[in-house]
Structure 1
Amino acid sequence: MTTDTPTADLTDDHAFAVWAAEQAGARLLEVRAQGLEGRELKNAGDAAAQELLARLLDEHRPEDNVLSEEARDDKSRLTASRVWIIDPLDGTREFSEPPRDDWAVHVALWQDGQLTAGAVAQPALGETFSTAAPRQVPARTSERPRIAVSRSRPPAFVESLAQQLGADLVPMGSAGVKVMSVVRDVADAYVHAGGQYEWDNAAPVAVARAAGLFCSRVDGSELVYNKDDVSLPDLIVCRPELADEIVAFVRSHGTD
């Protein structure tokens, strides 16, 4: 497979993140069209997207380090000033269930302690959300707040939070899709404490922050990336006006 000739200035990190995520997304759509099913489709998607992103990064950002869900963790990244944090296929289960569109590709750049660029492509939706052209979240269109949750295992504490806020739960797949649902005004918050890793939310958080959303750990503390331990188990992404009430609820009630 050959990649499309880029039309953007790939020396720009924001433009490169978008292009790379969209190239991987296009490759995943090709894999999905091959007639594979179940575990075979999941494995093929993971492998194809990882291979393509690794190749693009090696070609266009050869001096940078990479942290990926689908590759060995090279600890030299811990002393690097630039690290790309990628999830080649976020929402593998949803990807393996055509025609579901709630899966994504994550490409983020961490530089000198901060997330500086990011893109989340939702190929089956035909959209990419990024720091290259940040969306400004529109005024809320729903009467009641909406909280994005896992479609298979919504945590009990989020159900209690929804009661406190008078909110509705909106089930969907993929961590990145849940964060983008707040950017898209499909949901107003995503609150998670069931365990994630840096690649699950680095790109979504970069995009959400650029859109003006509140992002933190569930106790309100900062999200820190490029750590030795890549576990980042909990997350809040929400409209700024909901942040204080959500953080206060979690601090008071916990996540058990």
Structure 2
Amino acid sequence: MTDHQLAARLATEAGELLLGVRVEFADASASERKDAGDRRAHEYLIKALAAERPDDAVLSEEASEEERANSRRLTANRVWIVDPLDGTREFSELGREDWAVHVALWEAGELVAGAVALPAQGVTLATPDVAAPPPAPATPRIVVSRTRPPAVALAVRDALDGVLVEMGSAGAKVSSVVQGISDVYVHAGGQYEWDSAAPVAVARAAGLFTSRIDGSPLIYNQVDVSLPDLIVCRPELADAVLAVTAR
């Protein structure tokens, strides 16, 4: 099984597990549902990666601070960067579809494989073959958080004379650009490597533009796992977006 196939399989299977957690905890509190989803998806991915790729290191959102700082990760040639449940709030709200599972592989300084499962939509987007989005509409669509759109995204909307599309998790937002539901995702409110690694791998495979908001590269498997800002957009909009964000 290739790394691409493994990323897709694990993201999909973790998503199926999470759908089961939603059913099992349908009558529980949102907090209990979140905790069960985070824990079970993390345990599944860690166990599966240990079985399938025992020599590789893993960086997971749900790992302890000590585990994240593990020197093995920082000296390894191959590191899986996973977010077992991206969008816990949306996951906890029964009926919402805008949450995801992220599985990416970093190797020798680059993202080389990745998958984003959107379990409630029955969709998994995975490298190496990701379809480019359909032609863009005349009015650019900027995807933002439904609760706290960052000022930089609003500035991009104004500069492009665009409209906002509200959505939940980071993985769902990037996937919406890949799927042609939106055209630009700009974030500057604080994220970590696991929030963007798999979505960025998938977006690049679809031919989309990706970078930090100042135009610099997105770099993964760092000592400090904070990666607070990013752009994912159609390549033809990249210059116009950077003209706003790089300021």
- TM-score where L is the length of structure 1: 0.93
Distance 2:71 2:182 in 1: 36
Shift of 1:79: 0.7
Report percent identity of matched pairs: 59
Distance 1:160 1:16 in 2: 39
Distance 2:177 2:126 in 1: 14
SS at match of 2:246: helix
Query: Which residue is 2:230 aligned to?
Result: 235
1:59 counterpart = 2:51: yes
Q: Would the aligned equivalents of 1:108 and 1:206 in 2 still touch at CA under 8 Å?
A: yes
Query: Which residue is 2:208 aligned to?
Result: 213
Distance 1:68 1:135 in 2: 27
Cα deviation code 1:109-166 (max 9, x no counterpart): 00000000000000000000010431222211x2200001000000123212211101
Query: Which residue is 1:119 aligned to?
Result: 115
Distance 1:151 1:51 in 2: 29
The counterpart of 2:169, out of the listed 171, 174, 177, is 174
1:199 counterpart = 2:194: yes
Distance 2:71 2:92 in 1: 31
SS at match of 1:16: helix
Q: Would the aligned equivalents of 1:18 and 1:132 in 2 still touch at CA under 8 Å?
A: no
1:70 counterpart = 2:62: yes
Question: Structure 1: where are the runs of 5+ without partners?
Answer: 1-9
Distance 1:53 1:213 in 2: 27
Q: Report 1:139-178 matches (<5 A).
A: 139-140=135-136, 142-178=137-173
Distance 2:198 2:169 in 1: 13
Query: Which residue is 2:85 aligned to?
Result: 89
1:21 counterpart = 2:16: no
Shift of 1:246: 0.7
Distance 1:60 1:159 in 2: 43
The counterpart of 1:185, out of the listed 180, 183, 192, is 180
CA RMSD of aligned residues (A): 0.8
Query: Which residue is 1:32 aligned to?
Result: 22
Number of residue pairs matched?
241
Q: Report 1:125-140 matches (<5 A).
A: 125-140=121-136
Distance 2:228 2:122 in 1: 29
Larger helix fraction of residues: 2
Query: Which residue is 1:44 aligned to?
Result: 36
SS at match of 1:27: helix
Runs (4+) of structure 1 exceeding 3 A deviation are none
Distance 1:134 1:46 in 2: 27
The counterpart of 2:103, out of the listed 99, 107, 117, is 107
